[in-house]
Amino acid sequence: MKIRLGLISWATGATVLVGLSACGGSDTDPAANAEPSPASPSSPTTSSSSRAPSDASSADATDALRSYFTVVDQLRSNPAADLKKLKSVATSAQLNAVTTLIGRSRDEGQRQTGRTAINELKVQSVNLDNSDPKAGKIPTVVIDVCWDVSKVDVLDKSGKSIVSPDRPDTGWTRYTVANYDYAAAPTGGWRVATGQDLKKAPCAAS
């Protein structure tokens, strides 16, 4: 029997956030009970003399988001890969959700083939308020991504595809990329913290 995968449930893990964000928490997850709360975000700006902090953070968060997609693809493709690697690219609710999602798919003997493509990526806002990390007031960059799973398949334990032929291959998700360790690691501390599906026209498949 075919099942419908390939929107966020397989491409990004965002649709399971509401149901799973309270699951799988750990004491090592920074601010597990304090979601990022962007306040007074600013649009990315440019400087003729040097990169403004918002520009640098936009670039760093974008790199982190691309790494997130790469790591998630790797973990879904290789059931033997250590799920702890997710901590290098995700945090908070997103870490809990995607860890649970991949764990369940592994328990059912599923694995991914192919790679998710990022067809469009748009930085929506940058907030570098680091006034109270414990309360969720930490630097965040909000990024909209149009992902493309046209080259992704999901196989069951017998090697048979379980992706419905009418699967939508592209869609938009809004991610909050947060840095809970901004004071010590302003460049390398960015992690994907949340994901929210967007109801908008999908981009063209690659």
**Over the stretch 113-148, which tens digit does the pLDDT of each residue have?**
999 999 999 999 999 999 999 898 999 999 999 999
The pLDDT value given to residue 21? 37
Kindly report the pTM of this predicted structure: 0.81
The rounded distance, in Å, linking the Cα atoms of 201 and 205 is: 12
Of residues 41 and 167, which shows the higher confidence score?
Answer: 167
The pLDDT value given to residue 7? 38
Tell me the two tokens of residue 83: 């799920």
2 is a domain residue = no
The secondary element (H helix, E strand) that includes residue 65 is helix 53-77
Domain of 162, CATH number, reads 3.10.450.50
- Mean pLDDT of the chain, nearest integer: 83
153 is a domain residue = yes
Reply yes or no on whether the pLDDT at 51 is more than 80: no
* Domains contained in the chain, number: 1
Nearest in space to 175 (alpha carbons), one of 132, 135, 125, 134: 125
171 is a domain residue = yes
Reply yes or no on whether the pLDDT at 3 is more than 90: no
32 is a domain residue = yes
Summarize the confidence of residues 29-50 as an average pLDDT.
Answer: 51
Nearest in space to 114 (alpha carbons), one of 193, 206, 4: 206
107 is a domain residue = yes
* Residue that is written with structure tokens 């469009």 in the block: 120
- Percentage of the chain lying above the pLDDT 90 cut: 65
204 is a domain residue = no
160 is a domain residue = yes
The pLDDT value given to residue 5? 34
pLDDT per residue over 75-117, tens digit each? 999 999 999 999 999 999 999 999 999 999 999 999 999 999 9
Identify the domain containing residue 59 by its residue range: 8-198
104 is a domain residue = yes
